[in-house]
Structure 1
Amino acid sequence: MLQQGLERYLQVFTRLHLGLQGLDDCLTEQVEFRDPFNHVQGRAAVQRVLQHFIEHVSEPRFVIQHCAWSGSLCFVRWDFSGVVKGLGDWCFPGVSELHFDEQGRVLRHLDHWDAGTHFYSRLPLLGWLNRTLVARLTAVPHPPYKADE
Protein backbone atom coordinates (compact mmCIF):
# COMPACT_ATOMS: atom_id res chain seq x y z
CA MET A 1 0.00 0.00 0.00
CA LEU A 2 2.82 2.42 0.87
CA GLN A 3 4.78 1.68 -2.30
CA GLN A 4 1.65 2.27 -4.41
CA GLY A 5 1.03 5.56 -2.59
CA LEU A 6 4.61 6.64 -3.27
CA GLU A 7 4.32 5.76 -6.96
CA ARG A 8 1.06 7.74 -7.33
CA TYR A 9 2.55 10.74 -5.54
CA LEU A 10 5.80 10.74 -7.50
CA GLN A 11 3.81 10.47 -10.72
CA VAL A 12 2.19 13.84 -9.90
CA PHE A 13 5.63 15.43 -9.49
CA THR A 14 7.18 13.86 -12.56
CA ARG A 15 4.22 15.20 -14.56
CA LEU A 16 3.90 18.67 -13.01
CA HIS A 17 4.06 20.26 -16.46
CA LEU A 18 0.63 18.64 -17.06
CA GLY A 19 -0.96 20.02 -13.88
CA LEU A 20 -1.97 18.64 -10.50
CA GLN A 21 -4.30 15.81 -11.54
CA GLY A 22 -4.44 13.11 -8.86
CA LEU A 23 -2.75 15.19 -6.15
CA ASP A 24 -5.71 15.32 -3.76
CA ASP A 25 -6.00 11.52 -3.72
CA CYS A 26 -2.35 11.25 -2.62
CA LEU A 27 -2.64 13.54 0.42
CA THR A 28 -4.26 13.36 3.83
CA GLU A 29 -6.62 16.23 4.68
CA GLN A 30 -4.13 17.78 7.15
CA VAL A 31 -0.95 17.11 5.16
CA GLU A 32 2.06 19.26 6.07
CA PHE A 33 4.32 20.55 3.30
CA ARG A 34 7.62 22.35 3.86
CA ASP A 35 10.38 23.48 1.52
CA PRO A 36 12.87 26.37 1.76
CA PHE A 37 10.13 28.86 0.72
CA ASN A 38 6.88 27.44 2.12
CA HIS A 39 5.45 25.81 5.22
CA VAL A 40 1.76 25.01 4.87
CA GLN A 41 -0.78 22.55 6.18
CA GLY A 42 -3.83 21.07 4.46
CA ARG A 43 -4.59 19.78 0.98
CA ALA A 44 -5.84 23.12 -0.36
CA ALA A 45 -2.72 24.93 0.87
CA VAL A 46 -0.39 22.36 -0.73
CA GLN A 47 -2.34 22.64 -3.97
CA ARG A 48 -1.93 26.46 -3.91
CA VAL A 49 1.84 26.15 -3.34
CA LEU A 50 2.26 23.73 -6.23
CA GLN A 51 -0.03 25.73 -8.52
CA HIS A 52 2.05 28.85 -7.80
CA PHE A 53 5.18 26.82 -8.60
CA ILE A 54 3.72 25.66 -11.93
CA GLU A 55 2.76 29.24 -12.85
CA HIS A 56 6.27 30.57 -12.21
CA VAL A 57 8.46 27.69 -13.39
CA SER A 58 8.14 26.51 -16.96
CA GLU A 59 9.28 23.08 -18.08
CA PRO A 60 9.49 21.73 -14.50
CA ARG A 61 11.11 18.32 -14.37
CA PHE A 62 11.86 16.07 -11.42
CA VAL A 63 14.02 13.03 -12.10
CA ILE A 64 13.84 10.48 -9.30
CA GLN A 65 17.28 9.06 -8.51
CA HIS A 66 16.69 6.86 -5.48
CA CYS A 67 14.11 5.94 -2.83
CA ALA A 68 14.87 4.54 0.63
CA TRP A 69 12.24 3.31 3.11
CA SER A 70 12.21 3.11 6.88
CA GLY A 71 8.78 1.94 8.01
CA SER A 72 6.21 4.44 6.69
CA LEU A 73 8.90 7.04 5.93
CA CYS A 74 10.44 7.30 2.47
CA PHE A 75 13.41 9.45 1.48
CA VAL A 76 13.38 10.34 -2.21
CA ARG A 77 16.55 11.67 -3.87
CA TRP A 78 15.75 13.74 -6.97
CA ASP A 79 17.18 16.22 -9.45
CA PHE A 80 15.09 19.19 -10.49
CA SER A 81 15.32 21.34 -13.61
CA GLY A 82 13.15 24.08 -15.04
CA VAL A 83 13.07 27.66 -16.23
CA VAL A 84 12.22 30.39 -13.70
CA LYS A 85 10.75 33.68 -14.87
CA GLY A 86 13.46 36.32 -14.48
CA LEU A 87 16.22 33.85 -13.52
CA GLY A 88 16.43 31.49 -16.47
CA ASP A 89 17.48 27.85 -16.29
CA TRP A 90 17.41 26.41 -12.81
CA CYS A 91 18.60 22.98 -11.68
CA PHE A 92 19.54 21.45 -8.36
CA PRO A 93 19.47 18.19 -6.38
CA GLY A 94 17.32 17.57 -3.36
CA VAL A 95 15.73 15.05 -1.03
CA SER A 96 12.09 14.77 -0.03
CA GLU A 97 11.19 13.22 3.30
CA LEU A 98 7.74 11.67 2.83
CA HIS A 99 5.67 10.32 5.73
CA PHE A 100 2.71 8.09 4.77
CA ASP A 101 -0.45 6.99 6.56
CA GLU A 102 -1.70 3.37 6.49
CA GLN A 103 -3.66 4.02 3.26
CA GLY A 104 -0.52 5.20 1.45
CA ARG A 105 -1.41 8.91 1.56
CA VAL A 106 1.19 11.56 2.37
CA LEU A 107 1.01 12.97 5.92
CA ARG A 108 4.16 15.13 5.68
CA HIS A 109 6.31 16.23 2.75
CA LEU A 110 9.52 17.92 3.83
CA ASP A 111 11.92 19.04 1.09
CA HIS A 112 15.63 19.40 1.77
CA TRP A 113 17.74 21.32 -0.74
CA ASP A 114 20.25 24.17 -0.62
CA ALA A 115 18.32 27.36 -1.43
CA GLY A 116 21.37 29.51 -0.62
CA THR A 117 23.49 27.92 -3.32
CA HIS A 118 20.80 27.09 -5.85
CA PHE A 119 18.51 30.11 -5.60
CA TYR A 120 19.57 33.07 -3.47
CA SER A 121 23.12 33.13 -4.86
CA ARG A 122 21.63 33.71 -8.34
CA LEU A 123 19.85 36.92 -7.32
CA PRO A 124 21.77 40.14 -8.04
CA LEU A 125 22.20 41.72 -4.59
CA LEU A 126 21.47 38.69 -2.41
CA GLY A 127 23.70 36.55 -4.61
CA TRP A 128 26.71 38.79 -4.04
CA LEU A 129 26.03 38.89 -0.28
CA ASN A 130 25.54 35.12 -0.13
CA ARG A 131 28.74 34.41 -2.08
CA THR A 132 30.70 36.87 0.09
CA LEU A 133 29.47 35.24 3.32
CA VAL A 134 30.17 31.74 2.05
CA ALA A 135 33.68 32.75 0.95
CA ARG A 136 34.41 34.08 4.45
CA LEU A 137 33.06 30.99 6.20
CA THR A 138 34.53 28.36 3.90
CA ALA A 139 37.79 26.74 4.92
CA VAL A 140 38.48 25.35 1.44
CA PRO A 141 37.07 27.10 -1.64
CA HIS A 142 34.96 24.91 -3.87
CA PRO A 143 33.56 25.36 -7.36
CA PRO A 144 29.84 26.06 -7.81
CA TYR A 145 27.49 23.10 -8.26
CA LYS A 146 26.77 22.02 -11.83
CA ALA A 147 23.72 19.86 -12.58
CA ASP A 148 25.61 17.43 -14.78
CA GLU A 149 28.08 16.40 -12.05
Structure 2
Amino acid sequence: MQPVVERFKQIYGGLTIRSLGLLDELYSDDVEFQDPFHRIAGLPALRRYMAALYAQVEACSFRFEDDVRQGNCAVLTWTMQLNHPRLNAGAVVTVPGSTLIRFRDTVFYHRDYFDAGAMVYEQLPLIGMLIRTIKGRV
Protein backbone atom coordinates (compact mmCIF):
# COMPACT_ATOMS: atom_id res chain seq x y z
CA MET A 1 0.00 0.00 0.00
CA GLN A 2 2.71 2.47 0.96
CA PRO A 3 4.52 2.56 -2.41
CA VAL A 4 1.39 3.38 -4.44
CA VAL A 5 0.34 6.27 -2.19
CA GLU A 6 3.87 7.68 -1.99
CA ARG A 7 4.29 7.35 -5.76
CA PHE A 8 0.96 9.14 -6.27
CA LYS A 9 2.11 12.05 -4.11
CA GLN A 10 5.50 12.15 -5.82
CA ILE A 11 4.07 12.20 -9.35
CA TYR A 12 1.35 14.78 -8.66
CA GLY A 13 3.69 16.90 -6.56
CA GLY A 14 5.66 17.74 -9.71
CA LEU A 15 3.45 16.80 -12.67
CA THR A 16 4.00 18.84 -15.84
CA ILE A 17 3.14 18.47 -19.51
CA ARG A 18 6.55 16.83 -19.97
CA SER A 19 6.08 14.26 -17.22
CA LEU A 20 2.59 13.01 -18.14
CA GLY A 21 4.15 9.69 -19.23
CA LEU A 22 4.49 8.89 -15.52
CA LEU A 23 0.73 8.39 -15.39
CA ASP A 24 1.27 5.03 -17.12
CA GLU A 25 3.25 3.86 -14.08
CA LEU A 26 0.59 5.02 -11.63
CA TYR A 27 -2.74 3.97 -13.14
CA SER A 28 -4.26 0.69 -14.29
CA ASP A 29 -5.50 0.47 -17.89
CA ASP A 30 -9.11 0.41 -16.64
CA VAL A 31 -8.78 3.43 -14.29
CA GLU A 32 -11.90 5.42 -13.45
CA PHE A 33 -11.22 9.11 -12.85
CA GLN A 34 -13.65 11.75 -11.67
CA ASP A 35 -13.40 15.41 -10.75
CA PRO A 36 -16.06 18.16 -10.52
CA PHE A 37 -15.87 18.64 -14.30
CA HIS A 38 -15.42 15.17 -15.84
CA ARG A 39 -15.85 11.44 -15.43
CA ILE A 40 -13.30 9.46 -17.44
CA ALA A 41 -12.94 5.72 -18.02
CA GLY A 42 -9.65 4.14 -19.07
CA LEU A 43 -6.02 5.19 -19.11
CA PRO A 44 -5.97 6.39 -22.76
CA ALA A 45 -8.87 8.77 -22.07
CA LEU A 46 -7.21 9.98 -18.86
CA ARG A 47 -3.96 10.64 -20.74
CA ARG A 48 -5.85 12.72 -23.34
CA TYR A 49 -7.69 14.67 -20.61
CA MET A 50 -4.51 15.45 -18.70
CA ALA A 51 -2.62 16.41 -21.88
CA ALA A 52 -5.37 18.88 -22.83
CA LEU A 53 -5.51 20.22 -19.27
CA TYR A 54 -1.77 20.68 -18.83
CA ALA A 55 -1.33 22.16 -22.33
CA GLN A 56 -3.17 25.27 -21.09
CA VAL A 57 -1.50 25.47 -17.67
CA GLU A 58 1.60 27.58 -17.06
CA ALA A 59 2.30 25.88 -13.72
CA CYS A 60 0.48 23.52 -11.37
CA SER A 61 1.70 22.01 -8.13
CA PHE A 62 0.17 20.05 -5.26
CA ARG A 63 1.27 20.23 -1.65
CA PHE A 64 0.00 17.16 0.17
CA GLU A 65 -0.92 17.70 3.80
CA ASP A 66 -2.52 14.59 5.28
CA ASP A 67 -3.51 11.12 4.20
CA VAL A 68 -5.63 8.40 5.72
CA ARG A 69 -5.00 4.86 4.52
CA GLN A 70 -6.99 1.71 5.02
CA GLY A 71 -6.55 -1.46 3.01
CA ASN A 72 -6.43 -0.62 -0.69
CA CYS A 73 -7.88 2.86 -0.21
CA ALA A 74 -6.43 6.25 0.70
CA VAL A 75 -7.74 9.79 1.11
CA LEU A 76 -5.20 12.57 0.62
CA THR A 77 -5.72 16.25 1.38
CA TRP A 78 -3.84 18.82 -0.66
CA THR A 79 -3.50 22.42 -1.70
CA MET A 80 -3.14 23.08 -5.41
CA GLN A 81 -1.44 26.16 -6.81
CA LEU A 82 -2.34 26.82 -10.42
CA ASN A 83 -1.21 29.38 -12.96
CA HIS A 84 -3.50 29.57 -15.98
CA PRO A 85 -3.43 32.54 -18.36
CA ARG A 86 -7.24 32.85 -18.37
CA LEU A 87 -7.79 32.58 -14.62
CA ASN A 88 -7.15 35.32 -12.07
CA ALA A 89 -5.35 37.41 -14.72
CA GLY A 90 -2.64 34.75 -14.86
CA ALA A 91 -1.80 35.03 -11.15
CA VAL A 92 -1.65 32.00 -8.86
CA VAL A 93 -4.95 30.41 -7.89
CA THR A 94 -4.82 28.40 -4.66
CA VAL A 95 -7.43 25.69 -4.18
CA PRO A 96 -7.68 23.18 -1.32
CA GLY A 97 -9.05 19.73 -2.05
CA SER A 98 -8.85 16.03 -1.44
CA THR A 99 -8.44 12.85 -3.44
CA LEU A 100 -9.81 9.38 -2.89
CA ILE A 101 -7.81 6.61 -4.53
CA ARG A 102 -8.37 2.88 -4.66
CA PHE A 103 -5.56 0.64 -5.80
CA ARG A 104 -4.04 -2.77 -6.14
CA ASP A 105 -0.55 -2.56 -7.65
CA THR A 106 -1.71 0.58 -9.44
CA VAL A 107 -4.54 3.08 -8.98
CA PHE A 108 -7.81 1.89 -10.51
CA TYR A 109 -10.08 4.61 -9.03
CA HIS A 110 -9.26 8.30 -8.55
CA ARG A 111 -11.77 10.94 -7.48
CA ASP A 112 -10.91 14.56 -6.75
CA TYR A 113 -13.02 16.78 -4.51
CA PHE A 114 -12.58 20.55 -4.66
CA ASP A 115 -14.59 23.74 -5.02
CA ALA A 116 -14.87 24.19 -8.79
CA GLY A 117 -16.28 27.68 -8.28
CA ALA A 118 -13.21 28.79 -6.31
CA MET A 119 -10.93 27.30 -8.93
CA VAL A 120 -12.58 28.57 -12.10
CA TYR A 121 -15.71 30.67 -11.84
CA GLU A 122 -14.52 33.01 -9.08
CA GLN A 123 -11.37 33.72 -11.11
CA LEU A 124 -13.26 35.13 -14.12
CA PRO A 125 -13.68 38.92 -14.14
CA LEU A 126 -17.46 39.53 -14.17
CA ILE A 127 -18.73 36.15 -13.01
CA GLY A 128 -16.15 36.05 -10.21
CA MET A 129 -17.23 39.40 -8.85
CA LEU A 130 -20.87 38.28 -8.85
CA ILE A 131 -20.09 34.98 -7.11
CA ARG A 132 -17.92 36.66 -4.48
CA THR A 133 -20.71 39.18 -3.80
CA ILE A 134 -23.27 36.40 -3.38
CA LYS A 135 -20.94 34.40 -1.12
CA GLY A 136 -20.33 37.52 0.98
CA ARG A 137 -24.06 37.97 1.51
CA VAL A 138 -24.64 34.36 2.47
**TM-score bin, normalised by smaller chain:** 0.7 to 0.9
Does residue 16 of structure 2 align to residue 13 of structure 1?
A: no
Q: 1:27: Cα distance to partner?
A: 1.0
Q: 1:71: Cα distance to partner?
A: 1.9
Any idea what SS the aligned residue of 1:121 has?
helix
1:116-144 Cα offsets, whole Å, 9 max, x none, are 123211213332442344345x2xxxxxx
Contact preservation (8 Å) 1:33, 1:39 = yes
Aligned residue identity for 1:36 = P
Q: If the length of structure 1 is used for normalisation, what is the TM-score?
A: 0.80
Any idea what SS the aligned residue of 2:37 has?
coil
RMSD between aligned residues: 1.7
Q: Please list every run of 5 or more consecutive structure 2 residues that lacks an aligned counterpart in the other structure.
A: none
Partner in structure 2 of residue 146 of structure 1: none
State the percentage of identical aligned residues: 31
More deviation in 24-33 or 122-131? 122-131
Structure of greater Rg? 1
How many equivalent residue pairs? 134
Aligned residue identity for 1:114 = D
Q: 1:41: Cα distance to partner?
A: 0.7
Q: Please list every run of 5 or more consecutive structure 1 residues that lacks an aligned counterpart in the other structure.
A: 139-149
Q: If the length of structure 2 is used for normalisation, what is the TM-score?
A: 0.86
Any idea what SS the aligned residue of 2:131 has?
helix
> 1:18-29 maps to which residues of 2 (within 5 A)?
18-29=18-29
